[in-house]
């Protein structure tokens, strides 16, 4: 039987919603309270308390992630963990993986120590391995990679992250421009985790396009 080229071609890759705007279907609470995560007016709301994570219901290897976020408290702290085992550490309550940080621009000013303000370098989408995961930074600040351009908006405004994660490489676009990246991650498959770390943050339009797996064995 003749099969046309159109019939032989694989289905095109498509983004799918990881958050349906109605409930927490597709997400698993790992180590936060039942009230830490909720849905309000079509938004995914994180109270920020206690510190911990909520994970995706399955693992991912190669993917493109679109996520929009808005801190509701000055100095808010949160992030997304890629390629995570979603097993919290005993001391910091956070898992391993590659963290894609989401910080409010006021964070350095509100976390001065002995009169010294932390660097602003890591406010705008810093990338780094945690929990024993090692990476090679594109734009090193020690073991971390800092964005080459400051693009994060402040409290109450919406920020957009577009993440491309393939074969141990992550590239991050902040509000419409690629400004950061890491490579050589020692972990290349795992859960996505959303982080609760002290301040209320809202999420919306969380979409993922799953890409074909690597030809080498994923870690």
pLDDT for position 117: 87
* pLDDT mean over 25-52: 98
The ranges assigned to domains in the chain are: 13-210
pLDDT at position 126 over 60: yes
Q: Residues 166, 170, 175, CA angle at the centre, nearest 5°?
A: 125
Integer Cα distance of 112 and 171 in angstroms = 30
CATH topology for the 13-210 domain: Jelly Rolls (2.60.120)
Report the pLDDT value the prediction gives residue 1, as an integer from 0 to 100. 60
The percent of residues above 90 in pLDDT, for the chain, comes to 84
86 has pLDDT over 60: yes
User: Which tokens sit at 34?
Assistant: 């039942």
pLDDT for res 71 = 98
| Predicted local confidence at residue 218, as pLDDT | 47
Query: Across residues 160-169, what is the average pLDDT?
Result: 98
165 has pLDDT over 60: yes
Average pLDDT of the segment spanning 52-75: 98
- d(C-alpha 6, C-alpha 116), whole Å: 63
The CA-based dihedral angle spanning residues 176, 46, 118, 163, taken in that order and rounded to the nearest 10 degrees: -30
pLDDT in tens, 148-157: 999 999 999 9
Length of the chain: 219
Mean pLDDT estimate for the chain: 94
Predicted confidence band at 12 (pLDDT cuts at 50, 70, 90)?
A: confident
Q: Round to whole Å and give the CA distance between 161 and 93.
A: 24
Tell me the C-alpha to C-alpha distance, in Å, between residue 111 and each of 48, 74, 118: 17, 11, 7
């Amino acid at each position: 039987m003749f099969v046309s080229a159109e019939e032989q071609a694989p289905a095109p890759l498509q983004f799918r919603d990881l958050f349906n705007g109605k409930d927490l279907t597709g997400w698993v609470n790992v180590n936060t309270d039942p009230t830490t995560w909720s849905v309000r007016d079509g938004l995914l709301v994180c109270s920020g308390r206690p510190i911990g994570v909520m994970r995706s219901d399955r693992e991912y290897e190669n993917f493109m992630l679109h996520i929009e976020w808005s801190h509701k408290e000055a100095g808010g702290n949160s992030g997304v963990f890629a390629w995570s085992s979603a097993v919290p550490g005993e001391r910091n309550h956070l898992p391993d993986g590659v963290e894609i940080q989401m910080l409010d621009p006021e964070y350095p000013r509100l976390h001065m120590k002995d009169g010294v303000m932390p660097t602003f370098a890591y406010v705008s989408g810093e990338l780094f391995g945690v929990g024993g995961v090692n990476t090679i930074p594109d734009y090193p600040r020690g073991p971390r990679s800092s964005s080459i351009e400051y693009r994060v908006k402040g409290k109450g405004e919406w920020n957009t992250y577009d993440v491309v994660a393939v074969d141990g490489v992550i590239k991050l676009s902040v509000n419409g421009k690629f400004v950061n990246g890491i490579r050589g991650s020692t972990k290349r498959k795992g859960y996505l985790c959303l982080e609760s770390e002290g301040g209320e943050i809202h999420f919306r339009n969380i979409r993922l396009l799953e890409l074909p797996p690597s030809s080498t064995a994923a870690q």
